[in-house]
Amino acid sequence: MLSKKLLLVLFIALFSTGCSFSGKDIASQTEDTCFTRVEKVIQGDSMAPMLLERENVILLENYYKCGYQVERDNVVAYDYGGRENPLIKVVKATGADKVEIFNGRLKINDEIMGNSLGQEYIFSEAETKMLGLYIKDGRLPENSYLIFGDNIKDSLDSRRFGAVSANDFLGKFLIE
């Protein structure tokens, strides 16, 4: 039987590049909304320093299915196929934004993209190629989004899987 310490090490290694969450409903639907407020607990460090592991957050589940629009800087729950828990990421670019890759950096509306502390994301050649697949004439396709973790060096996000559709957003997080 595996020791608790070994299981902890395996768990950390397995989830070190993804930030996901688990949780339970804390309130059901209300009269004025069609989404559900759900308390979640952050798992992983890809959203650090914005959100830290074991931090409690509130997810507005089905928020975008209620007709609300996805906007830049929304923190979203993303259904990444094959994972038990969805990913939590920040929307950094939408189809309405001007997007270009310049010297390994992503410029959005003529500003170099950074995290919550203003640290610039620097992309490898492979990551640049992945992102470039989705940028046509300086824009993303309609209903496409680039989502990133706040951890500029270690996150499972659009650097690895490209642009995503709002259809895969499970909700919006309330971030103070």
In a domain, 37, yes or no: yes
Residue 11 has pLDDT above 50, yes or no: no
The mean pLDDT value for 158-175 works out to 95
In a domain, 6, yes or no: no
In a domain, 44, yes or no: yes
In a domain, 54, yes or no: yes
* φ, ψ of residue 23 in degrees (nearest 5): 175, -170
Q: What is the pTM of this model?
A: 0.82
In a domain, 11, yes or no: no
Burial readout 28-45 (b: 16 or more C-beta within 10 A, e: otherwise)? eeeeeeebbbbebebbbb
Structural domain including 117 reads: 18-174
Looking up residue 105, the CATH number of its domain turns out to be 2.10.109.10
In a domain, 8, yes or no: no
Q: What is the pLDDT of residue 81?
A: 87
Q: What is the pLDDT of residue 20?
A: 57
Count structural domains, the chain: 1
pLDDT band at 42 (very low <50, low <70, confident <90, very high): very high
| Contact by Cβ (8 Å): 141, 162 | no
Residues 62-108: pLDDT tens digits? 999 999 999 999 999 999 987 888 999 999 999 999 999 989 999 99
